[in-house]
Chain A
């Protein structure tokens, strides 16, 4: 992963992910610096909204597969 910032592009290498009290904790390193990302439920909602077209496409695909399977079964 890469993070862009006013001091330049920095790498982000995840090393550990865990869930604690409903919050995702992503530990990693930005080069020599230890880094930590907290992802809360509200953040997940924001991310889901940003990729809503992809999610809708996947959901539509799943529903289509289920519908075809049901039709074939009949």
Chain B
């Protein structure tokens, strides 16, 4: 059992696996049946080149299978189309991507209204051609928000941006631009109708029929036993929730994390 299990076949997972495979066997597991992860795609040239490098390095892939639990006996419970199995592993590298903060995490009061969507889901809907709204408020100004904004403009939607933490630069697609303003409350009956925003002692209302949550990314943690960094046994997290990073930068960070892990394993052996 000298292999390392890597959860996530996105850019970070592929990069980490390639780095690890230089020293010991690596197995990549992903719930999706293709590489690329949430923030890339199976058609992305960079992801394809990483997969090619992994194949050359002898990395094994278990795609379309969901990792559920990492036990202290260093086994990973995986459920896939062919059944349930425990995979033994010396170490687990978690590269499960990231997600935007929820309405509650952003401190926005109000009911759970229709039309309030996480940017990851909104992106898929937009690519399918579904119109999310005519007057859309985007919370955030990172790469995810920018992808959404461009697609919304193509659909003819009017876009208002609350950049939150990432104030610069103002994107071309923003019809409304509210730097320094915070979302306070979402109003509506069934579907969102307006967002109340505040800045210092000022309060304003922005009429809208959709709100896209694309601010303050958080690492996804959905494998039992690999949730908390301090409490997880033999787990290394290779996630970069900074939404301004390019794929290449994510790859570099994941390689550095994997490299540190290899050095640690080597040190323990000697």
Contacts and interface: CB of A to CB of B under 8 A. Distances in A.
Interface of A: 4-11, 30-34
Say whether chain B's binding surface is mostly helix, strand, loop, or mixed.
Answer: loop
Contact of A31 (B38, B63, B121, B124): B63
Given A11-B42, A32-B63, A6 B33 contact: no
A22 B38 CA distance: 39
Contacts of A34: 81
B34 A7 contact: no
Interface residues of B, number: 19
Contacts of B32: 7-8, 10, 31
Contacts of A11: 34, 42
B128 interface: yes
A33 B38 contact: no
A6 B124 contact: yes
Contact of A8 (B38, B63, B81): B38
17 contacts: A4-B124, A6-B121, A6-B124, A6-B125, A7-B124, A8-B32, A8-B41, A10-B42, A11-B42, A30-B33, A31-B34, A31-B42, A31-B63, A32-B34, A32-B61, A32-B63, A33-B33
B64 interface: yes
